[in-house]
Structures are given as C-alpha cells and as structure tokens.
Amino acid sequence: MHNTLKLVLSISIALLLSACGTTDSALKEQLHNDAYVVGFHDGRHSGMKEAGDEWEHFIRDHERFDSEPEYKEDWLAGESEDRRIQTQAQAIGDSVGGAYTGYQINKEVDASKPHPKKIANEAMKGVDTTEMNNLGK
C-alpha cells in the first residue's frame, strides 16, 4: 500500500511538474527549428528516464546528435531540464510518502492506547454509584 501510494504520488507530481516545463509549442513560438524542438523533446524523455521515471524511454537520434548542433544542444537542454524536474518530483513523492507513513504510525499508536472512558469504567467496576445519581438532582 505504502509503495503504491508513493508511486501514484510521484507520477502525479511528475506529470504536474512536467506540465510546468518547456513545451514543444513554446519552443516553436520562440522560432526554434524542428531539429531543436525534436532534440529537446527527445532529451526530455531521456532525462526523465535517467532520473528514475520507469515509464519513460531513453531517446536519442545518434546520427542527428553527432551531425546537427541544434539537435544536440537542445537534446542536452531537454535532458537536463527533465532530469531536474523528475528528481524534484521524486523528492516530493518521497516526502509525501514519509509523511503518510508517519501519519499511519501515529494512528496505529493512538489506536493501541487505552481509551480514557474504558479506563474510567474499569476503575468504577464494582463501585456502588446509586448515590451519585442523586447529586445531579
């Protein structure tokens, strides 16, 4: 359960943070050519994979990387950006998972403690309380 929660939170946070990253359309609006945009896109997926995202794949067109400076430049930029984002998402997921674990531990500890009413009832066992009923009248 705990690992599943951490995974779900990590993926959710990664998706949220990646939405905050640079998009292909933003690069095109900045008048970057296709080699630059594709390089950034490939590098982003590779950076996330390298940072531990099990759902991503390492993508690099080796021929273009070796022969097209713009593809290479933006592949490296994309890789760096999404490696950073994935690392942040993982750290947040780990923190949330740790907080949840602490909450669960505290909940279990509280449940194992004796309840005050139960203690009072045990203490009053065998005590004649009929005269106490007259106190409230």
The residues, ordered by sequence, that sit 6+ positions from 61 with a Cβ below 8 Å of its Cβ are 38, 42, 71
In sign, the C-alpha dihedral spanning 88, 91, 95, 100 is positive
Write out pLDDT tens, residues 15-58.
555 544 566 677 777 777 778 788 888 888 888 887 777 888 88
35, 68 in Cβ contact below 8 A? yes
Q: What is the pTM of this model?
A: 0.49
Tracing tokens 């290479």 back to the chain, one arrives at 72
pLDDT-derived band at 74, boundaries 50, 70, 90 = confident
